[in-house]
Structure 1
Amino acid sequence: MDFVKIILFISLIYGLYAKQKVPAGACVSKIVNGKLVQIGDCEKNDGSDIVRLIKKSRDEKIKAETKCDVTYKKKCYRAVVYDVRNVTFTDAKAICKSKNGKPANIYDLKHYQLLLPYLRSPIPGGGWPYIAGQILMRIWTGMEYKNNQLLLSNGKPITIATEVWFPDYPSPEASRTNVGVVVDKDPEYADQGMFNRSPSHSFHGVICEI
């Protein structure tokens, strides 16, 4: 008899707990392992919970994918790089678009100097040699060089400090319309900086402005 009373008491407590978790007439919706799980009276639910959960899940995913690695003048920057040179400018645009951004502009000398340590960070100690003895990374920006004029990604002309350019650049060749950055693991190495190339060239990646 005592055993039966104990079972009934446990059942009563569990029932009260369940009622506290999901009030009568309420519908609780959760996403568990990528699937929608609903508890309670969900037959009359108008679907707003589902819409809200989907939006929240999407927003959290976008936020995680578009985190700022560098911030300059309230703009967010994030580089995507690979250990092989396999990214054309067309690829670079697609990569940044997937991050809800675009290939980045470099607005001035201070901005360039802020980005350099960050761009060097993914280069391994052994480097990715392009010429023996160099530890280089080439990365796209969103800028262009046309008719002897540096342009932002929106086509607006801009002037930038000469020390930002790679030695003997920018090149006047008409086919070299797109601007990248050569970065060496050694900050004291002379041959690094912005340079212009044909958009069909393959670089290690792109710096995105988000």
Structure 2
Amino acid sequence: MNFVKLILFVSPICGLLANLKLPAGSCVSKIVNGKLVQVGDCEVKSRYYFHQKDDGSDIVRLIKKSRDEKERAENKCDVTYKTKCFRAVVYGTDNVTFNDAEPICKSMNNGKPANIYDLALYQMLLPYLRSMIPAGLSYIRVWTGMEYKNNQLLLSSGGPITIATEVWRPTHPRTDASRTNVGISANKDPENEHQEMFNYSPSWFINGYLCEI
């Protein structure tokens, strides 16, 4: 008897929901043929929504969608130059050594600390790096993957490269044997003279790093 009463009680509610006229933009969940579904403007408003299929394909699709979105975020290009992809990670304090940069760049689709291949790329990166300067700072310094050893600028692969001398900070590159790693400084004021490359010891702490993905 109690079961019959329950059915009689639930049936009018389901009927009311089925006939309910929803305001524009509304999303309501209800039971239809024993399945939980959503009606109204649900596809846009709801992060997770149900369909009448119960074969598990919707769950698989949602998992794949979440994984694809994560991969797109990790592999996002902030600067593209000659098919190469660059992305900077910047902090508001000097807390990153060169050795910190390597594993984090690698986590970005097996990326690496970036090379600066020529003057054109360097000039393209400066305004991007300025846009990354955190509030309260007037400039940032980021690691690249390049090295300076035995009076020679080297790519991360170890191959030699030359770049316009005007990109270097005055008195840089330094010839100290410990100053093996190269970075870029970008000032919030594009007219400021301190937009430059430098070479520091890899254990020095600076604001971030530039990755090549």
Q: Which residue of 1 aligns with 2:212?
A: 209
Give CA deviations for 1:25-71 in whole Å, capped at 9, x if unaligned: xxxxxxx979xx896564xx8xx987776455323211122211111
- Indicate conservation of the 8 Å contact 1:167/1:191, yes or no: no
The amino acid of 1:81's aligned partner reads V
> What is the CA distance between 1:185 and its match in structure 2?
1.4
Say yes or no: does 1:137 pair with 2:140.
yes
Aligned length: 180
Q: 1:114 aligns with which of 120, 124, 127?
A: 124
For normalisation by structure 2, the TM-score amounts to 0.71
Q: Which residue of 1 aligns with 2:93?
A: 84
The amino acid of 1:203's aligned partner reads I
Q: Go from structure 1 to structure 2 and tell me whether the alpha carbon gap of 1:196 and 1:56 turns closer, same or farther (over 3 Å shift).
A: same
For normalisation by structure 1, the TM-score amounts to 0.72
Give CA deviations for 1:136-174 in whole Å, capped at 9, x if unaligned: 211101111111111111111111110111111111111
- 1:162-201 to 2 correspondences below 5 Å: 162-201=165-204
- Indicate conservation of the 8 Å contact 1:178/1:197, yes or no: yes
Say yes or no: does 1:105 pair with 2:115.
yes
Give CA deviations for 1:84-130 in whole Å, capped at 9, x if unaligned: 00001111112212222211111111100000011011224642xxx
- Indicate conservation of the 8 Å contact 2:113/2:144, yes or no: yes
Unaligned residue ranges in structure 1 (runs of 5+): 1-6, 19-31, 128-134
- Indicate conservation of the 8 Å contact 2:91/2:134, yes or no: no
Of all paired residues, the percent bearing the same amino acid is 65
- Indicate conservation of the 8 Å contact 2:87/2:211, yes or no: yes
Give CA deviations for 1:155-198 in whole Å, capped at 9, x if unaligned: 11111110111111111111111101111112222233111111
- Let me know the Cα RMSD of the aligned residues: 3.4
- Secondary structure of the equivalent of 2:142? strand
- Secondary structure of the equivalent of 2:100? helix
4+ residue runs over 6 A deviation: 48-52
The amino acid of 2:201's aligned partner reads S
- Secondary structure of the equivalent of 1:111? helix
Q: 1:158 aligns with which of 157, 161, 164?
A: 161
The amino acid of 1:120's aligned partner reads R
- Indicate conservation of the 8 Å contact 2:51/2:58, yes or no: no
Q: Go from structure 1 to structure 2 and tell me whether the alpha carbon gap of 1:52 and 1:187 turns closer, same or farther (over 3 Å shift).
A: same
